[in-house]
Amino acid sequence: MTTTTAVAHPNIAFIKYWGNRDDVLRLPANGSISMNLDGLETRTSAEFDPQLGEDEFTLQGVVQIGTAAERVSDHLNLLRNMAGVAWKARIVSENNFPIGAGIASSASAFAALTVAAAAALGLELAERALSILARRGSGSASRSVPEGFVEWFVASRDEDSFAFSIAPPSHWPLIDLIAIVNAGPKKVSSAEGNVLARTSPLQAARVADAPRRLNLCRRAILEKNFTALAEIVEEDTRLMHAVMMTSQPSLTYWEPETLELMRIIPEWRAGGLPTAYTIDAGPNVHCLSLEESAQEVERRLREFPAVSQILRARPGLGAKIVPG
Ligand code: PMV
């Protein structure tokens, strides 16, 4: 059988997905908006083989067993059902960004897996169908399928909840400087955390207000208004983390340095340096900036002893098949 390889980038959410209306289908409680991260990528190859007794999943050169392998097999089952075949697969996946560095790798992982496996099975699927399938593996993966700046629709039916590009990568050369303050793996995965969101009394208010935040964020991107983007992105981050901290059990992903950066970054902006923070389900701080401010933001971030590493990403393309 032929081997098919796909590449996908992780993405950083500007308006966050947190909590599901349907945990099995991974239908989100609210819509979300993100930017794909160029330079960081997952490269996955898929080969289906009628002779194989079990799926084999190799990540960074290590054969996986347990939860990671089961999640991949469950996802392959969706695709096998669509193609009407029972063949098992060899999946080989590599990330070029530090594993365990707290960068959401499940988004690029399930986007690349979906695109590679669908092509290997001969399924000719449009971007929308690929985004829907990727969503079933990991919600944020739906947003790594289309290119550039991406919005994922909230919907009550599987076939209506997909992501699409609202602007190509060339639209606005934003820079994401990812300040790593703790490179260790998180204790509670985002998949587990998403299920807890509804236990917070604040989640209903966060979800009800989401259309307002989505409108402000979409407009800020389309108009390339950095100040407007900064304000809504930071507000959305605080809302999501307030839900995490008030869920049962409560989730606190921050380190002291996370909070230190959350306090100082708006001060830098007030002082005339375009930058804004956003934080996913981890302690590391994504500092959005513009081409003219990125160097100075990076210089200031390096002055924090706890910042062990800074990754830099521009708006990235969508998931695609590449030569093997
Ligand atoms: O889809 P998951 O399980 O990677 O959850 C993503 C959750 C956040 O990264 C915190 C927010 C988001 O929208 O990406």
Assess whether 124 and 183 both reside in one domain. Answer: no
Instruction: Decide which of 170, 192, 226 is a domain's last residue.
Output: 170
Domains identified in the chain, total number: 2
Indicate if the alpha-carbon torsion angle 100, 101, 104, 105 is positive or negative: negative
- Atom 5 (ligand 1) nearest CA: 190
User: Could you tell me the end-to-end alpha-carbon distance of the chain, in angstroms, rounded to an integer?
Assistant: 13
- Cα angle 311, 313, 319 (rounded to 5 degrees) comes to 120
Assess whether 51 and 155 both reside in one domain. Answer: yes
Taking 70 as the threshold, does the pLDDT of residue 102 lie above it? no
CA distance 101 to 97: 8
Among the listed residues 134, 141, 143, the one whose alpha carbon sits nearest the alpha carbon of residue 190? 141
Instruction: Decide which of 115, 136, 170 is a domain's last residue.
Output: 170
CATH of the domain at 290: 3.30.70.890
Taking 80 as the threshold, does the pLDDT of residue 101 lie above it? no
- Atom 9 (ligand 1) nearest CA: 280
Assess whether 159 and 192 both reside in one domain. Answer: no
Q: Is 93 in the pocket of ligand 1 (CB under 6 A)?
A: no
Full domain range(s) for residue 217: 173-313
CB 162 within 8 A of CB 142: yes
Greatest alpha-carbon span in the chain? 64
Q: What is the mean pLDDT of the chain?
A: 95
Select from 114, 190, 214, 243 the residue to mutate for testing ligand 1; criterion: most ligand atoms less than 8 Å from CB: 190
Task: Residue 77: count other Cβ atoms within 10 Å of its Cβ.
Answer: 12
Q: Is 188 in the pocket of ligand 1 (CB under 6 A)?
A: no
Instruction: Decide which of 116, 148, 170 is a domain's last residue.
Output: 170
Q: Is 281 in the pocket of ligand 1 (CB under 6 A)?
A: yes
Assess whether 198 and 147 both reside in one domain. Answer: no
Assess whether 57 and 157 both reside in one domain. Answer: yes
**What is the average pLDDT across 180-208?**
89
Assess whether 131 and 194 both reside in one domain. Answer: no
Q: Is 32 in the pocket of ligand 1 (CB under 6 A)?
A: yes
Instruction: Write out pLDDT tens, residues 134-183.
Output: 999 999 999 999 999 999 999 999 999 999 999 999 999 999 999 999 77
CATH of the domain at 39: 3.30.230.10
Q: Over pLDDT 70: what percentage of the chain?
A: 98
Instruction: Please tell me the predicted confidence (pLDDT) of residue 1.
Output: 66
Taking 80 as the threshold, does the pLDDT of residue 230 lie above it? yes
Q: Is 136 in the pocket of ligand 1 (CB under 6 A)?
A: no
Instruction: Please tell me the predicted confidence (pLDDT) of residue 182.
Output: 79
- Is 321 within a domain? no
Ligand 1 centre and the CA of 139: distance in Å?
7
pTM of the model: 0.97
Assess whether 22 and 151 both reside in one domain. Answer: yes
Given pLDDT bands bounded at 50, 70 and 90, which one contains residue 235?
very high
- Is 271 within a domain? yes
Assess whether 44 and 134 both reside in one domain. Answer: yes
Instruction: Please tell me the predicted confidence (pLDDT) of residue 97.
Output: 84
DSSP state of 323: -
Q: From residue 313, how far is each of 41, 160, 167 by CA, in Å?
A: 11, 30, 17
Assess whether 24 and 57 both reside in one domain. Answer: yes
Ligand 1 centre and the CA of 100: distance in Å?
15
Select from 17, 161, 233 the residue to mutate for testing ligand 1; criterion: most ligand atoms less than 8 Å from CB: 17
Assess whether 160 and 178 both reside in one domain. Answer: no
